[in-house]
Amino acid sequence: MDRQGAVAALGAAVAAFVSDNAFGDERWCVALSGGPDSLALTAVAAACKPTTALIVDHRLQPDSGRVAAAAREQALSLGCVDAQVLCVDVGTTGGPEAAARTARYGALDDARRDAPVLLAHTLDDQAETVLLGLGRGSGSRSIAGMRLCDPPWYRPLLGVRRALTHAACAELGLTPWQDPHNADRRFTRTRLRIDVLPLLEEVLGGGVAEALARTATALREDTDALDEQARQALADVGAGPALDTGRLAALPEAVRRRVIRGWLLTGGAIGLTDKQIRAVDTLVTAWRGQGGVAVGSPLRSQRLIAGRRDGMLTLNIEPV
């Protein structure tokens, strides 16, 4: 690789992503943490079109303000037309990692002003995500990993190894911030990165990260096809608050459960798990007069109950 090889390779990856996805926006944003992945992406993104760097300060560490300010200075020095520091308050719902993610995405969405946002997730991040989904046993949807395009979020480096972003920063003379959380084994993703993936690479003879990413792509293609069948089937089994259990029962299992999932989400359910969806499915396939199934509701004072009545699946609101 020549002196500018890593930067050139990242630039080619972003250019190919833009070409493949018909990116027509005149401007875009990039989510910048100051770490090597997002810093390298910011550098190549700013060279492509007017780029605004969005830096989220989670305020979870004593020096977070200094880190955010340094990232802002680096973004402007790399040619960004603007760089904004977004301070957030991180809650507790779902644990520290999930709560920080929720706060971060909310702030990015508020600040992007209808522009697409580039995220610096790499192939290594995708492999970790697949392993997390596999461990949770939440079905193919969780193992399908992250999408390249999930508007307004876009991941042009999802096919790029993390080593390339580190090399690009070195070529550009940049000093990335090293997040101490990335070395803290209290976090599940960190342990996957430090302990599990290297062990799998050793035991299986290499290429594990790439294999996991290919698995995610294949599962995502299958999931998209089944989701489309489910959307079409939903119109045939009912409308509004009720579904015909007889017609549901005639559907293939994978399609039926996706119909149920879509119906629950449309009815206001949140935080659905595979266990809940399967429990609702038994109201269709193994009806013995059992009671309803509680699913997540956005309102603390109410809960949603999926039940069966007169051959129809119903979704009712009950006070807690």
134: pLDDT confidence band, cut at 50, 70 and 90? confident
* Domain 6-212 identical in fold to domain 238-319: no
Residue 2 among known ligand-binding residues: no
2-11, 50-59, 153-162, range with the lowest pLDDT: 2-11
Do the strands 153-154 and 238-239 form a parallel or antiparallel pair, or are they unpaired? unpaired
319: pLDDT confidence band, cut at 50, 70 and 90? confident
Residue 138 among known ligand-binding residues: no
Beta pairing partners, 239: 242
Residue 313: is its pLDDT beyond 70? yes
Q: Specify whether the CB–CB gap between 303 and 312 falls below 8 A.
A: no
Amino acid at residue number 23:
F
Q: Specify whether the CB–CB gap between 131 and 192 falls below 8 A.
A: yes
106-110, 119-123, 186-190, range with the lowest pLDDT: 186-190
Tokens 């973004």 sit on residue: 75
Q: What is the pLDDT of residue 33?
A: 95
Residue 311 among known ligand-binding residues: no
Taking the alpha carbons of 293, 294, 295, 297 in that order, is the dihedral positive or negative? positive
Residue 38 among known ligand-binding residues: yes
- Which CATH fold topology does 238-319 show? 3.30.465
Express each pLDDT in 141-163 by its tens digit: 889 999 999 999 999 999 999 99
Cis previous bond, 152, omega within 30: yes
Q: What is the pLDDT of residue 138?
A: 67
Q: What is the pLDDT of residue 94?
A: 72
Residue 3: is its pLDDT beyond 60? no
Mean pLDDT along residues 231-250 = 88
172: pLDDT confidence band, cut at 50, 70 and 90? very high
Residue 37 among known ligand-binding residues: yes
**Encoding tokens for residue 10?**
């990242």
Q: Domain 6-212, CATH 3.40.640.10 — does that match? A: no
91: pLDDT confidence band, cut at 50, 70 and 90? confident
Residue boundaries of the structural domains of the chain: 6-212, 238-319
Percent of residues, the chain, with pLDDT higher than 90: 73
Residue 297 among known ligand-binding residues: no
CA angle 212, 216, 276 (to 5 degrees): 115
Residue 1: is its pLDDT beyond 60? no
Predicted model pTM: 0.87
CA angle 168, 24, 113 (to 5 degrees): 85
- Percentage helix, strand, coil, to 5, in the chain? 55, 15, 30
**Encoding tokens for residue 25?**
């926006």
Residues whose CB is less than 8 angstroms from the CB of residue 142 and which lie 6 or more positions away in sequence, other chains included:
132, 133, 134, 136
